[in-house]
A and B are shown apart, each in its own frame.
Chain A
Amino acid sequence: MTEIKSGAAVATSADIRGATAMQLHDVAVSFHGRTAVRDCTFDIAKNRVTSLIGPSGSGKTTLLRALNRLHDLTPGAKVSGQILLEGTDIYRGDITVTELRTRVGMVFQRPNPFPTMSIYDNVVSGLRFNGIKKKALLDEAAETSLRAAALWDSVESRLKVAASNLSGGEQQRLCIARALAMDPEVLLMDEPTSALDPIATLRIEELMTTLKSRVTIIIVTHNMQQAARISDDCAFLLMGEDRAGELIEFDTTEKIFNNPKDSRTLDYTLGRFG
């Protein structure tokens, strides 16, 4: 559970994107028959950071939450098309929703550590929920993931303290550690820095850059500079005529920001609207 995956296939050239972690084919999400986002077809490359950008209402978060089946809980929500994780269809294939969520972790917009649990209990909570009780295993997972989230040094001496005593930035890194403790292949991040100050934001961004050697990252962000700074690939979504979001363009971040195919992408990245 705790070994760090070797950072083998980190593509450096923008043209070589290496192996694929997830594939989206014609993905659409609707609520009570109203389409919220559609026409999403692109591949998420392994050990890279993929950002989903676009103005409010373009369906970025809705699309992200389809990738770990979080819409399952919403009455009237329907996901169509195909989403593959290592070749397995996550909605119809041979994978349970709980297994999927242990392999595809998530960090939310606002830090949401469990308020009644200590720092330590928060980090190992996912393992405990999945039936792991061995203390040695939990201890090791806690240290490894807190180190990976660059939080170990500041919390080592107070692991038993309530998680709510940490600052906002530390809480968010605790949530990252909690997700990493499950050793996921993919980490979904829904505007993870929107509730944080610039310094805490910078630390999370640095963290993402170091983490991508062990986990594929998909991040929704409103912040164009952030997408440009940290992501390798970028999907640009926009709200269409009927108020449903759709994929306008997917490419390497460099192309999206410097040489996009669609003029609307250029308008957005230059700040002409949104």
Chain B
Amino acid sequence: MSDMTELDKPTEVDNELRDEIRRISQHSRARRATVSKVMIALCAVALVVTAVPLVLLILQLLEKGLPVIDKTFFTTLPSTPSLIAPNATGGVSNAIVGSIALSLYASVLAIPLGVLVGVYLAETESRLASSLRVIAQTMAGAPSILMGLFAFSFVVHDLNIGFSAIAGSFALAVLMLPVIVISTEIAVRSVPNTLREAGLALGAKSHTVSLRVVLPAAVSGIVTGAILAISRAVGETAPVLLTIAGGFTNAWKPLDPVSAMPLTIFENAKSEWPSQRAQVWGVALVLVAFIFVLSLSARMWASRKQQVRN
């Protein structure tokens, strides 16, 4: 209360000092406006430089991919060109069916496990949790050929299952797992604590709160992470190279040797027949379209969920 008298005293204004401050700030404003314009121009240049390779890539994909895509491209099996019929490449239905089967099995293997581990990491503080987190982060950075090698030695060789969809899915699942774990942990951690408290204050046990309050509230982030993991896995070549054998049938059962789009690209690119090499662009275009649709649906799902919540 004693400072009230201090505040009530009228402050003496030093006119010279005020003019000085105005002059300096005016000068500085002009300088900052120039710096700002230069910076914006630099950002624009960086944007163009980044966009150019991407646009060129997409243009090339469309230019070279579209001509080789027709109905039989999707519906028929590949055939080997010969001197009599150098353009008889057939379709790539085996690769499309194989890729869909592989991503499906890999999702079944990786998503439930990854989500549970992610929730565990977010909801508990323990030595086990922090070790798991380090493992997940390390795995996320591991080269994908390693997953292929591991699946080859473990599933194909040790378990004696042979080259099969399940071996390829296993490799892809190991690749997806850390992505799902990390994105789930982030989504669960972003659920406000007030919701946990609301659940606990109703007499719920902490695992009940985790599964019935926190998990549903985090679901949009979890689904987005899972879809991004799938779209990354479906384009991977290295893990399937050593595990699926690349059959020339529309095989899709777990124990069948299947084919996959990245594998077809890899094999056909080495072909001596120009028609087969040309087909690679069609497969690449379908693969990119597949991933694009997956990512887009992930975004749409997330934004729709967000709207429901707000």
**Residue contact A102 to B202, C-beta cutoff 8 Å:** yes
Verify if B205 is at the interface (C-beta below 8 Å from A): yes
**B195-218 CB contacts (< 8 Å) to partner A:** 195, 197-205, 208-209, 212-213, 216-217
Q: For this complex, into which size category does the number of interface residues on chain B fall?
A: 20 to 34
Contact pick for B204, options A70, A126, A179, CB 8 Å: A126
**Residue contact A129 to B201, C-beta cutoff 8 Å:** no
Residue on B nearest A109 in the bound complex, by CB: B194
Given contact pairs A98-B203, A116-B216, A116-B217, A129 touches B198 in the complex (Cβ within 8 A): no
A101 to B208, CA, bound (A): 14
Contact pick for A129, options B125, B212, B310, CB 8 Å: B212
Verify if B308 is at the interface (C-beta below 8 Å from A): yes
Q: How far is the CB of B108 from chain A (nearest CB, A)?
A: 24
- How many interface residues does A have (CB within 8 Å)? 30
Residue on B nearest A125 in the bound complex, by CB: B202
Residue on B nearest A131 in the bound complex, by CB: B208
Residue on A nearest B209 in the bound complex, by CB: A129
A112 to B217, CA, bound (A): 12
List chain A residues, Cβ under 8 A from B200. 70, 73, 101
Contact pick for B308, options A101, A130, A162, CB 8 Å: A162
Q: How far is the CB of A21 from chain B (nearest CB, A)?
A: 17
**A81-129 CB contacts (< 8 Å) to partner B:** 98-102, 105-106, 108, 110, 112-117, 125-126, 128-129
Q: How far is the CB of A177 from chain B (nearest CB, A)?
A: 12
**Residue contact B217 to A126, C-beta cutoff 8 Å:** no
List chain B residues, Cβ under 8 A from A128. 212
Given contact pairs A112-B194, A115-B217, A98 touches B201 in the complex (Cβ within 8 A): no
Q: How far is the CB of A107 from chain B (nearest CB, A)?
A: 9
A106 to B216, CA, bound (A): 22
Residue on A nearest B202 in the bound complex, by CB: A126
List chain A residues, Cβ under 8 A from B309. 115-116, 164
Residue on B nearest A273 in the bound complex, by CB: B1
| Chain A to chain B contacts (Cβ below 8 Å), 24 pairs | A73-B200, A75-B125, A98-B205, A101-B201, A101-B202, A105-B201, A108-B194, A110-B194, A112-B197, A114-B195, A114-B213, A114-B216, A116-B217, A125-B199, A125-B202, A125-B212, A125-B213, A126-B202, A129-B199, A129-B204, A129-B208, A164-B308, A164-B310, A179-B201
Nearest 4 Cβ contacts at the A-B interface: A126-B202, A129-B204, A102-B203, A106-B201
